[in-house]
Amino acid sequence: MIIIGITGNIGSGKTTVSNFLKKSMYVFNSDDYVKELSKSKKIINIILQQFPKAKSSNGGLDIPKLREIIFSNYRVNIKTLEDIYHPYVLKKINSIIFINKLFRKKFIALEVPLLFETGLNKVCHKIIVTICSAETQKARVLAREGMNERMLTEIMKKQGNIKYKMKLANYIINTDEDLATIENNVNKIIESLS
């Protein structure tokens, strides 16, 4: 089985590439899984132990308030949040790899924004890095609910140097291209792996 890692900085088009890969293989999206985990009472309670001011009026998690708290001291607070989520994400990835090996799947893909930063690149046989222009990236990110330029700057500092990631990539996909070209480039990667 070939494990394909998909990564790139925020707003670089990782999910667009993943959606094309889904036509041929199972794709795990770590951001989606974190959102799913965020609905779990167990995770909510752990987060509220660390960030009690993020408690909503109904006892749940106030996501906008949590975002505000995280960005008040991003480097420290994001590490705390990552330390909560990462063990669950790693456990899920290990189970996905095991299950897909068991069923002799040819390929699986892992979409993980912090693939290199977390060391998950080491479980991947091939790595796709998505890139786009700074203008495209900024427009995509700022179109997201609750995002602003300061947040984008902080996230970019955390995600590291894209040129370094590109050097370690097997494939680079520029998502400034139109969707048909992106899909064609993804299909070429699948063909080369087959």
Question: pLDDT tens-digit profile of 99-115?
Answer: 877 778 899 999 999 89
Q: Which residues lie below 8 Å from residue 136, measured CB to CB, with a gap of 6+?
A: 11, 175, 176
Give pLDDT, residue 126.
96
Q: What is the mean pLDDT of the segment spanning 124-151?
A: 93
CB neighbourhood size of 78 (10 A): 15
* Angstrom distance (rounded) from CA 177 to CA 162: 18
- pLDDT confidence tier of residue 26, bands split at 50, 70 and 90: very high
Domain 2-189 adopts which CATH fold?
Answer: Rossmann fold (3.40.50)
Give pLDDT, residue 104.
85
* Angstrom distance (rounded) from CA 167 to CA 140: 24
Q: What is the mean pLDDT of the segment spanning 160-170?
A: 90
Share of the chain above pLDDT 90, in %: 72
Q: Is pLDDT larger for residue 79 or for residue 161?
A: 79
Give pLDDT, residue 156.
86
Question: What b/e string do you get for 104-137 counting C-beta neighbours within 10 Å, with b at 16 or more?
Answer: eeebbbbbbbbbbebebbeebebbbbbbbeeebb
Q: Beta 26-29 vs 2-7: how paired, if at all? A: unpaired
State if pTM tops 0.85.
Answer: yes
The domain segmentation of the chain, as residue ranges, is: 2-189
- pLDDT confidence tier of residue 188, bands split at 50, 70 and 90: very high
Give pLDDT, residue 159.
81
pLDDT, mean over the chain: 92
Q: Which residue has the tokens 């001291």?
A: 73
Indicate the burial class of 94 (C-beta count within 10 angstroms; 0-12, 13-18, 19 or more).
exposed
Q: Which residue has the tokens 């902080």?
A: 154
Q: What is the mean pLDDT of the segment spanning 136-145?
A: 92
Phi, psi of 144 (to 5 degrees): -75, 145
Give pLDDT, residue 57.
87
Question: Can you tell me whether residue 177 is helix, strand or coil?
Answer: coil
pLDDT in tens, 55-92: 988 888 998 899 999 999 988 999 999 999 999 999 99
Q: Which residues lie below 8 Å from residue 59, measured CB to CB, with a gap of 6+?
A: none
Find out whether 76 and 90 touch, Cβ atoms under 8 Å: no
